Amino acid sequence: MIPLQLIGKRRHRLWRNRAAHRSSLGHAQTNLVLHAPLCLIFPSPPGRHRKSRLFGFLPVIIDPLFYILAAPAIVFLGIGKGGFAGVGMVSTPLLALYLPPLQAAAILLPIILCQDVISIWTYRRDWDAWNVKVLSVGAVIGIGVAWALAAVVSDGAVRLIVGLIGIWFVLNAWFGKMPDAVKQPNISSGISWGAASAFTSTLIQAGAPPYQTFMLPQRLPKLTLVGTTTVFFAGVNVMKVAPYVALGQFSTETLGTSAVLLPFAIATNFLGIWLVRVTPTERFYRIAYALVFFISLALIFQGGAAMLPA
């Protein structure tokens, strides 16, 4: 005869296995919805990545799918850090096709900090101190709010809002009645746009549209604009380290993967610096507006898709 206690334990184990199966099935269905475009090309499900070890002790991602996405992401990031602000916004959404957005941002952040050192040295004489000070006050507020709301606000909602702001700004610049004189900035708007930029940069590494909404109408000299952008976002990136640590986004795996990508990222950073210097000012501004427009469209698409019911 089988003891009643043993029967009860077997029933409990059977119930637990069924619940786990339902949970994994639901998770698989969610992954299928979120990663449908990739599943059409790559049969292996994203997120279940293979690992190896760098220098014998540091785990890194070795899944080829990750690096197929990481290669263009690092190119865009390097060109953006070289001076074409906004291009780097593409990087996190690309990696977010494989990883959760915050984890993708955590892999990129150490790379960005190293690139910031190069860019600050390059543009150390070309930046506007007043703009950096005003925007940085807002950045402290924006990063604090992002830290508090990281577990509440969805990535899709943030992408959608940022994309709509960027589209409104560019369409107004292209088709609205522009003033004859250069727009003079004020402290309150600088703090507001600095906060919005740091908030979205912390959550999805997409701080360019709010920042450009404040900066581009000033029509600063090309190198001054690039230098100001470099110094401001370098400060924002340093301030983001504490929230990322507190949210548990850094791990030996993310740091190891960052180390693998770093040499390529530095090379593309110098490519971006060279492109900025050889591009005429008027063409540079046209490219900047166009980049904000197309990136904002991509953010709207991603945000809307993420918010649709599964």
Asked if residue 203 is part of any domain, the answer here is: yes
Q: Which residue has the higher pLDDT, 133 or 289?
A: 133
Mean pLDDT score, 30-39: 36
- pLDDT for the residue 10: 46
- pLDDT for the residue 234: 93
Number of domains into which the chain is organized: 1
Nearest-angstrom CA–CA distance, 184 and 181? 9
Asked if residue 205 is part of any domain, the answer here is: yes
pLDDT cut 70: percent of the chain above it: 75
- pLDDT for the residue 191: 95
Asked if residue 261 is part of any domain, the answer here is: yes
Beta-carbon count within 10 A of 308 CB: 8
H runs (alpha helix) in the chain: 4-34, 36-41, 64-82, 91-95, 101-122, 129-149, 155-175, 187-204, 208-215, 222-246, 252-278, 281-307
Nearest-angstrom CA–CA distance, 288 and 266? 22
Beta-carbon count within 10 A of 301 CB: 14
Q: Which residue has the higher pLDDT, 212 or 54?
A: 212
Domain hosting residue 271, numbered range: 58-307
Asked if residue 271 is part of any domain, the answer here is: yes
Asked if residue 48 is part of any domain, the answer here is: no
- pLDDT for the residue 239: 92
Residue 61 has pLDDT above 80, yes or no: no
Q: Which residue has the higher pLDDT, 15 or 143?
A: 143
Residue 133 has pLDDT above 90, yes or no: yes
| pTM assigned to the model | 0.67
DSSP state of 176: S
Asked if residue 172 is part of any domain, the answer here is: yes
Average pLDDT, the chain: 75
Asked if residue 44 is part of any domain, the answer here is: no
The C-alpha R_g of the chain, in whole angstroms, comes to 22
pLDDT cut 90: percent of the chain above it: 15
Mean pLDDT score, 65-69: 85
Asked if residue 211 is part of any domain, the answer here is: yes
